[in-house]
Chains A and B, each alone.
Chain A
Amino acid sequence: MAKQTRKTPAKSPSKATSTTKKAPSRSRAKKVVPEGTFPTSLELNVTFDTYPAGKFTHKDLGLSIDDVLSMYRNMLLQRRFEERAAQMYGKQKIAGFLHLYIGQEAISTGTSTAIKIGLDSIITAYRDHGHGLALGMTANECMAEMFGKVGGCSRGKGGSMHFFSKEKGLFGGHGIVGSHVPVGVGIAFAHKYKEDGGVSIAFYGDGAAGQGSVHEAANLASLYELPSILVVENNHYAMGTAVHRAFAETEFTHHAVGYKMKAALVDGMDVFSVCKAMQDHVALARENKPSMLEIRTYRYRGHSMSDPQKYRTKEELESKKNEDPIIRLKAYILEHKMTSVKALDAIDEDVKDEVLASVEFAENSPVPDLSEIYEHIYDESDYPYLA
C-alpha cells in the first residue's frame, strides 16, 4: 500500500546521471512499477509544522535587543510610509493603483530579518512597498517612484506596483496576479546553477494561488529541487472574494502535497513566528529543499484605494486590528524591558521624519524627460522605434 510521508525519497543516482559524469544531479530515482503491484487503495498521511503567534521569543531566533528594535523600526517605517502614501494619493500626487500592505508588515520584516540581503532574492506582487522597505530600499526612492519621478527606484516607469531593486534583491513588484511566481522559481534556478548559495522567495496572495502558473511553478521547484520558497500571504481576500469562495481546498499548505513539497502554516501577525519559519525554510532551501509556506495575515485597508469593502464586516476588521503586528511587537519590547516607551516614541518620530523627508524628496525630484519614454526598452541605445 502506497503511503506518502513527508520524507524525501532516498537519494540514488538515476540512470542518466550514471552514464555521464557531468549531467545535472537529478536525485529522484525513476520508479519502475513492477507488474502486478497495482495498489488496491492509496492513503495519504501528512502533517505540517505550524508557527503560531506567541510561541517564539527573540532568543529562540538568536536575535539581540538591537535586532528587535530595528525590526520594530522597520515595520513602523512601512506603516507610516503607507499612511502617508494614502494621503498623497488623496492629493493626487500618486495615481493609478495603490495597494497598501498595512497589517501585513510582520511578513516582510520577519523575512528580511531571516535572509541574507544582497545574496537572497525576493519577488512579490503589486502589494510591494512593505517588502521593498523591509529589504532596505529607501523611503525616498520608493515615494519618488509613486510620484512618477526620476528619483524613483524604477525612474518613474513602474509606479506603486513595480518596485525593483537589483541591489537589495527585490526582483519586483508585479501586476499580473500569479505570473511572477514562476519567475521566482527561475531566480532559484539561477541561484542553484551559479552555486552562489542564495535562495529565492516568491510571495503571492491567496487569490494568486488560483492561477495555474503558481501550480506549475511549485511542481518545477520541487522537481528540480531548487532553493525556492513559495509563500502564500493569505490575507483572506482577493479583492472582494473570500478564500472559501475561490478554493475547494482552503488549506494552502495542502496544495504543496501534490508537488511533494514540505509546507508549513505561519501566523503572520507575529513577526517572530514569521522570522522563525523563514529561518527554518531558508535553511532547507539552502540545501535545495524547496518548500511552501502559508502565512495567515490581514490587510487593514481596502484592496486598493477604490474599494467600498462591502465583503467584510466592521466587527471582523476591528477584531483583526487587535492582532496588529506592530502593537504586538511593541508590547513584547516593553514586556521584556528592552527599552522605554519614550525611546519607542522617539523611533516613531524618527520614522515620521524619514517619511516626510521622502515626500519632500519626491516633490523635488524631477519628472522624467520625455525622451526617457524610449529608454530601457531594448539594450540598444539606437533601436529604430517607429515614430
Chain B
Amino acid sequence: MAVLQYREALRAAMTEEMERDSSVFLMGEEVAEYNGAYKVSEGMLEKFGPKRIIDTPISESGFCGLGVGAAMAGLRPIIEFMTFNFSFVAIDQLINNAAKIRYMSGGQFNIPIVFRGANGAAGQLAATHNTSTESIYATIPGLKVIAPSNPDDAKGLLKSAIRDNNPVIFLESEVMFGWKGEVSDAVDYLIPIGKARIAREGTDVTIVAHSKSHYIAMEVADQLALEGYSAEVIDPRTIRPFDIDTVIESIKKTNRCVIIDESNPFASISSEITYQIQERAFDYLDAPVLRITSKDVPAPYAKNLIEYYMPQAKDAYDACKRVMYVK
C-alpha cells in the first residue's frame, strides 16, 4: 500500500492508462504547461509530450465537443474541467452529444470519454463556483456518474472509467485533492463502476453518503459509537448506476436510513435513493428516511452563511438519533 494524495491517485490512474493505451489523451485548461490548476496532471506533459497532454483555450463547449468527436472516431479522451461549475458552458456537448449519440446512431458509435474535475462546494466562492452537479448529470440516461471519496477509489474507478466504452462524468473535489490515503499497489487496479463500498459495518442505522459527505458520515458514526449505537456507513462511489442493492441489504438489517448529500435537495440524489428505498424496502423501514443536504438555496459568499449552507455533522447526528427514536 502506498500513501497517495487524492490528486496523485488520479494522476497515477491517468498515467497508467496512457501508458497502456496510446489512444488515451488528456485535454483541458492549464493541464499541460501549468501542470494543472490543482496540480492533478503535474509532470504529465513532460512524460507524455504535447501531443497527448493538451492545453486548451477557455472554450469548454469547443473542447468537450472535440472530445466527443475524437471518441466517436476511436480515441479515448480524458477532458478535464477546471471545475464542474464550468461544465455548464459545455452542457450541450455532455447531455445532447456525449450521452445520446450512441443511442441515436443505433449503437454504431461508442463514446468512450471521461469528463473529470472538481465538483461541489469549496468554501467562500459564492453561487456560481459551488455547484454540486451529480444529480444534474445523473438524471441523463447515457451518462455514468462517479464520485469517489478517497484516493484508493479515485484510482481504481478512474482507471475503470477510462476503459469504459461510455461517457463517464467523474466528479472530484477541490477540497479533497490534497487529502491522503492508502492506495492499492495491485497491478492494474480496477474498481468496478456501480459497486458501493461498505465503509463501516453496523446494525442500528444505515448512513449513505458519497464524496466529501462520506467523512461527515464517518464522524457521525464515531460519535454514535461512543454512545453505544452502531451505524453502517455506505459510500456509493458511483452515483449512476446506483448500487441500490447494497443499500437495501443494509436497511434490511438496520431498518433505518439517513442520507447525507452536499447537493441542493430538490430532485437530487437523495430524492432518488429515498424513492428506491421506499419502493424496495418499505416493509423493513422503522422510520422515515431522512436526509441532510445543502440548503435549498444558491451558495452564499459570507463565511457564516456558507457554513450554514453546507450539510452539518450535527444535523446528521440528530437525524440518526431521530430515526432510532432515541434522545
| Interfacial residues, chain A to chain B (CB-CB below 8 A) | 95-97, 148-149, 154, 156-159, 161-162, 174-179, 207-208, 210-213, 238-241, 245-247, 310-311, 367-368, 370, 372-374, 377, 385-387
- A163 CB → nearest B CB, Å: 11
The interface residues of chain B lying within 8 Å CB-to-CB of A310 are 34
B278 within 8 A of A: no
Instruction: Enumerate the 9 nearest inter-chain pairs by beta-carbon distance, A residue then B residue, closest first.
Output: A210-B57, A148-B302, A159-B301, A156-B302, A96-B124, A240-B34, A246-B57, A95-B124, A386-B296
- A1 CB → nearest B CB, Å: 33
Complex Cα distance, B309 from A175, in Å, reads: 20
Instruction: Check A176 against B123 for contact (C-beta < 8 Å).
Output: no
Instruction: Check A239 against B126 for contact (C-beta < 8 Å).
Output: no
Whether A373 contacts B300 in the complex (CB less than 8 A), given A95-B124, A97-B125, A176-B85, comes out as yes
Whether A212 contacts B301 in the complex (CB less than 8 A), given A175-B128, A239-B34, A241-B55, comes out as no
The interface residues of chain B lying within 8 Å CB-to-CB of A176 are 85-86, 88-89, 128
B58 within 8 A of A: yes
Pull 20 A–B residue pairs with CB atoms less than 8 Å apart, ordered by A.
A96-B123, A96-B125, A96-B129, A156-B302, A157-B305, A158-B301, A175-B125, A176-B85, A179-B89, A212-B62, A213-B89, A240-B30, A241-B34, A310-B34, A311-B33, A372-B300, A373-B308, A374-B295, A374-B297, A377-B297
Instruction: Say what secondary structure dominates the interface of chain A.
Output: loop
The interface residues of chain B lying within 8 Å CB-to-CB of A238 are 57-58
Chain A's closest residue to B128 (CB) is: A175
Instruction: Check A157 against B304 for contact (C-beta < 8 Å).
Output: no
User: Which residues of chain B from 139 to 161 have any CB-CB distance to chain A below 8 Å in the complex?
Assistant: none
The interface residues of chain B lying within 8 Å CB-to-CB of A159 are 124-126, 301-302
- A61 CB → nearest B CB, Å: 34
B246 within 8 A of A: no
The interface residues of chain A lying within 8 Å CB-to-CB of B129 are 96-97, 161, 175
Complex Cα distance, B297 from A161, in Å, reads: 19
The interface residues of chain A lying within 8 Å CB-to-CB of B308 are 370, 373
Instruction: Check A175 against B126 for contact (C-beta < 8 Å).
Output: yes
Complex Cα distance, B86 from A283, in Å, reads: 36
Question: Which of the listed residues A175, A373, A387 has the most CB atoms from chain B within 10 Å of its own CB?
Answer: A373
User: Which residues of chain B from 259 to 316 have any CB-CB distance to chain A below 8 Å in the complex?
Assistant: 265-266, 295-298, 300-305, 308-309
Contacts A238-B57, A377-B298 known; list 7 others, CB within 8 Å.
A96-B126, A157-B305, A162-B127, A177-B86, A241-B34, A374-B295, A386-B266
- A97 CB → nearest B CB, Å: 6
